[in-house]
Structure 1
Amino acid sequence: MAAFDEETFGPVAAITAARDDDHAVELANSTDYGLGLSVWSGATEHAVAVARRITSGAAFVNAIVASDPRVPFGGTKRSGYGRELADAGLLAFTNTRTFWVAS
């Protein structure tokens, strides 16, 4: 289904059944994109362990994917490179210049 294989922006949700955690991680990592992921579980530590195995620019546990100007945000794979927001994002849009004057 196109919504599963492409980088979609809401309100769209692709729902796919996975056999277990390993299969869910395999499905999530099979995409060419990696902007953000959201893992939901009553066992927070388990959800964090699953999220750590998935390649993405941002991971959210028991929360929707969102951005906050206090922390860097960006993707991996075909979801882009670099970060926006926070110090890391600010530095991405600057050009450090060396200026040296000898006397």
Structure 2
Amino acid sequence: MKSFGDGVLLKSDVPIKPIEFLHYSLNLPTSVVITGCESQRDLDQAFEAVKTFQPMDKSRVAELLGRSRPYALEGKYELFKTSATFDGTAKNAKWLGDESESVQKLAPTMK
């Protein structure tokens, strides 16, 4: 899980502190939380998040989701879903290769 949406959320006006993103991510049933440490400050922040983490109860999760809801509804910070910025195949269509014969039979033609 990328807690900060590849840093996009940190550059936004979403009213959630970085440590809250980390605590929320740690509260989910994930196997890995990627913090994106690029400096000693980032590393210290990650350690602080782990040291201060306590499982969030339903009311705390609801409060946090309530603050983020207006921003989540817009989708403008979910660039993985709303843009080709992170889509390598959009820039390198040849990576996809040709459609198989079975797909060609099923797919509508684009002519």
Sort the TM-score into its range (normalised by shorter chain).
under 0.3
Of structures 1 and 2, the one with the larger relative CO (CA 8 A, separation 6+) is 2
The structure richer in helix per residue is 2
TM-score between the two structures when normalised by the length of structure 1: 0.28
TM-score between the two structures when normalised by the length of structure 2: 0.26
The structure richer in strand per residue is 1
Larger radius of gyration: 2
